[in-house]
Amino acid sequence: MANLRASDDMRQWLETLVKIESPSGHAEGIGQVMDVVAEVLGDKGAVSRIPTPAGPMMEISRGQGGALILAHADTVWPLGTLAEMPWREQGDWVYGPGSLDMKGGIAIAMAAIREIADSVPYTFLITPDEEVGSDDSREAIEDAARRSRLVLVLESGMPGGAVKVGRAGVGDYRLHIRGVESHAGLEPEKGASAIKELSHHIQWMEGLENKVLGTTLNVGVVEGGTRSNVVAGKAWAHIDVRVTTRSEMERIEATLSAPPRFDARCEVVYEGGFNRPPMEPTVDSQQWFHEASHIWRQATGQELAGVRVGGASDGNLTALLAPTMDGLGPVGQGAHARNEGVDWRYMEPRRQLVQELLIRAGRS
Ligand SMILES: [Zn+2]
């Protein structure tokens, strides 16, 4: 099943894509990434471009139903990165900004779509803002998922080629506390320290964690007070919350919306929420995982592992709407890091896996 031409094509497309800088918010670079894809796939489906405040979004589709391939054109790398971190090939590896996350995934999708018969329906959606939370593409992603039988997210795979069958939901909260200021020496009893209240909340939040279910709350930033001789009137904290199940998400949301006050004179507000709900395996997604394992075994002779990870992706948005498989993209190292690169030996097996899943999801 290995296909040298497809592999050469992917190499060339990936090089072209990596050499276009497309940080989130840079509409021009993001548009150029889409130009490359549209040129290669223009005869394989109807191409529509949808402008959004975050930059252009592009959908290529054919027929009804079938699988939805989800990819994002934006990277975390600012303009100019390519000068210090150029495209580079070494042995079985290729390196460059965005190569793993996720231009390699776009190249895999392009090759898979070129290989399938014209009778296979599919939708390929490329968004401009995944790395900044997908605010402007969320609706389009959810719409496309509802129309699809299966969602294939081409984020990078895990070591050994493992795919992602579960992802944490991520909450972003700010805790604002207003206390009562007073002189720390003359009338401390008249004050209600926002910092003391904050310290109670830090302990209290630790009690909300559930290590077994994978619920964590990390107080990453705190700030408060004005001077050492003033009982602090204000304090705040920035909190990252991770959950792996929807019921845990709902528990945290409900609890933080009605927080305790350890000193009744303080005002306490938790502001924020979950940007993406958790991606949980479902009966249907597990069935598709079995199909994928079978295809992978045939392509590589290896077992396909399915893992749950802490980071979120657009797969979090689709998992409730259609069976979703994530981490089907390239395998490598250093997403968001200076040594970002792709292990080329996985590219052909990945192309075969995505291609075969497209075909199976396209059967009515
Ligand atoms: Zn990504």
- Give the model confidence (pLDDT) of 55-81 as tens digits: 999 999 999 999 999 999 999 999 999
Mean pLDDT of the chain: 96
**Domain count for the chain:** 2
* Dist. CA 258 → ligand 1 center (Å): 34
User: Are residue 254 and residue 306 in the same domain, yes or no?
Assistant: no
User: Are residue 257 and residue 302 in the same domain, yes or no?
Assistant: no
pLDDT tier at 275, thresholds 50, 70, 90? confident
User: Are residue 174 and residue 210 in the same domain, yes or no?
Assistant: yes
User: Are residue 49 and residue 150 in the same domain, yes or no?
Assistant: yes
User: Are residue 64 and residue 21 in the same domain, yes or no?
Assistant: yes
Q: Of the candidates 251, 276, 301, which is a domain's last residue?
A: 276
* Dist. CA 335 → ligand 1 center (Å): 8
CATH code of the domain containing 101: 3.40.630.10
Ion ligand 1 — residues with CB < 5 Å: 101-102, 155
Q: What is the pLDDT of residue 323?
A: 97
**Range of 110's domain?**
4-167+278-362
Closest to 253 (Cα-Cα) out of 208, 311, 313, 294: 208
Would you say 314 and 130 are in contact if contact means Cβ atoms under 8 Å apart?
yes
- Over residues 34-56, mean pLDDT: 97
* Dist. CA 333 → ligand 1 center (Å): 13
User: Are residue 239 and residue 327 in the same domain, yes or no?
Assistant: no
Q: For the chain, what is the total number of helices (H) and then of strands (E)?
A: 10, 18
User: Are residue 191 and residue 208 in the same domain, yes or no?
Assistant: yes
* Dist. CA 153 → ligand 1 center (Å): 9
How distant is the alpha carbon of residue 55 from its chain centre?
18
Among 38-47, 217-226, 275-284, the range scoring the smallest mean pLDDT is 275-284
Would you say 156 and 98 are in contact if contact means Cβ atoms under 8 Å apart?
no
Q: Using CB atoms within 10 A of its CB, is residue 337 exposed (0-12), middle (13-18) or buried (19+)?
A: exposed
* Dist. CA 263 → ligand 1 center (Å): 43
Q: Of the candidates 210, 245, 276, which is a domain's last residue?
A: 276
Q: How far apart are CA 19 and CA 31, in angstroms?
A: 13
* Dist. CA 72 → ligand 1 center (Å): 7
How distant is the alpha carbon of residue 4 from its chain centre?
31
User: Are residue 181 and residue 330 in the same domain, yes or no?
Assistant: no
Q: Of the candidates 253, 276, 299, which is a domain's last residue?
A: 276
pLDDT in tens, 8-24: 999 999 999 999 999 99
